[in-house]
Amino acid sequence: MSSSCVASSPAGAASPVALLPPELLARVVELSVEGLPPTVRLRSAILRNLALVAQSWVEPAQRALESRVHIDSYGRARNFFDRARPADRPLVLDELVLFYDFAPLDEDFYPLTELMTRSICASAGEIRSLHLRSALFMSPFDLNLLLLPSFAELRELKLSMPLEPPAGLASLPVHLNKLALSAMVDQPPSLFRLLARSLDTLRSLQLFVIKSGAPLHERLLDAYPALPSQLAHLAITTHWVPLPGTLNQFIRSCSSLRVLSLEGLVTNEILGLLPTLSTTSLVALDLTVPATFTWFGSPIESFFDRLLRETALRSLRSLTVTRRMESGSDEQPQRLIARLGPRDCECVYEVTARRPLP
């Protein structure tokens, strides 16, 4: 979109697009870049073009441009600080991603330092989501930073590197809604004890599981035994390996789930797990099945019907099954939508190109 796309208006009259309510305008800007990571240039280009539409579009486009920040080097950090911003508007970050020890083939590359990390965190007025990454699984982030005023509204924490609580730090005042963990990284039990006081608000949990990975769900339960009764959204991702028995039990014990996502589980394990769920409030179920998935030669609607007969799924309103083709397959992507069951549940079957797991 560019300024040339704006509809003409009578002389002296404001264009209709310039008169949109602020809430609607903010939503239009948000939807225009939905799903685009902050590192993708297309996202920045779209937002800059939106700022050209009308004067009233400049502020929401600029706010969205600043709302998601990915910093993986000293150079990117300097660019972050050098960007001009209105002095009367605090910086609100819907997502801050800090990536340490990433070393591209660049002689001028300098990794993000602890001092620069502190400066970034302290400069923001509010940080709502924090994602910490490290290619070498090093831990240069000081958890004391979460005591800064900028983290008072932190609601989402995603960890792709280990965090060792410093001596003397007894608890953190953050109140998380969402926590994402990867079993490729071994988090110490002391981290979950540190978060225990903030877990009473946790409603969403994402776990990436590998065969030899750390039992992070067990450490979460040790620190906060009430967690299964309060989770509304649970996402489990693995790479076609059986889940540990304790994790199966954890999923079964989640009694308040409304959304369940199972990616990379073998079909037989899914069929064995669903009848044993303790939740009766599930409204959305997302599954990923193997690229070779077939249902005894029957149409996919038969598989949907098999699932919808489960007692635990009696409240289901949305069922999505995704099958990702292997590279080199001559099969065409497809999307089938059907409404089945006495509840008129929307069932979607998608065949897509294979993408890597997180």
The answer to whether residue 109 sits within a structural domain is: no
pLDDT band at residue 79 under the 50/70/90 scheme: confident
Instruction: Return the pLDDT at 30.
Output: 73
> For 274-332, what is each residue's pLDDT tens digit?
999 999 899 999 999 998 888 988 999 999 999 999 988 989 999 999 998 877 777 88
Instruction: Return the pLDDT at 6.
Output: 44
Name, of 17-31, 64-78, 247-261, 300-314, the range with top average pLDDT: 247-261
Instruction: Return the pLDDT at 343.
Output: 75
Res. 33: pLDDT tops 60: yes
pLDDT band at residue 31 under the 50/70/90 scheme: confident
Name, of 32-41, 69-78, 80-89, the range with top average pLDDT: 69-78
Res. 357: pLDDT tops 60: no
Instruction: Return the pLDDT at 38.
Output: 63
The answer to whether residue 23 sits within a structural domain is: yes
> For 240-283, what is each residue's pLDDT tens digit?
889 999 999 999 999 999 999 999 999 999 999 999 999 989 99
Res. 89: pLDDT tops 60: yes
> For 203-226, what is each residue's pLDDT tens digit?
999 999 998 888 999 999 999 999
Instruction: Return the pLDDT at 18.
Output: 65
The answer to whether residue 59 sits within a structural domain is: yes
Instruction: Return the pLDDT at 5.
Output: 46
Query: Where is pLDDT greater, at 100 or 84?
Result: 100
| Domain with 20 in it | 1-67
The answer to whether residue 180 sits within a structural domain is: no
- Number of structural domains, the chain? 1
Whether 220 contacts 190, CB under 8 Å? no
pTM above 0.85, yes or no: no
Instruction: Return the pLDDT at 74.
Output: 83
> For 128-181, what is each residue's pLDDT tens digit?
999 999 877 677 799 999 999 999 999 999 999 989 898 888 888 889 999 999
Query: Where is pLDDT greater, at 203 or 112?
Result: 203
Whether 179 contacts 204, CB under 8 Å? yes
Query: Where is pLDDT greater, at 99 or 9?
Result: 99
Q: Mean pLDDT over residues 186-203, rounded?
A: 87
Q: ∠ CA 154-135-77 to the nearest 5 degrees?
A: 55
Instruction: Return the pLDDT at 2.
Output: 43
Res. 21: pLDDT tops 80: no
The answer to whether residue 276 sits within a structural domain is: no
Res. 92: pLDDT tops 80: yes
The answer to whether residue 63 sits within a structural domain is: yes
The answer to whether residue 207 sits within a structural domain is: no
State the chain's mean pLDDT as an integer.
84
Res. 347: pLDDT tops 50: yes
Structure tokens at 73: 């080097």
Res. 355: pLDDT tops 60: no
Instruction: Return the pLDDT at 82.
Output: 83
Instruction: Return the pLDDT at 55.
Output: 74
pLDDT band at residue 229 under the 50/70/90 scheme: very high
Instruction: Return the pLDDT at 1.
Output: 44
The closest of 64, 53, 52 to 19, measured between CA atoms, is 53
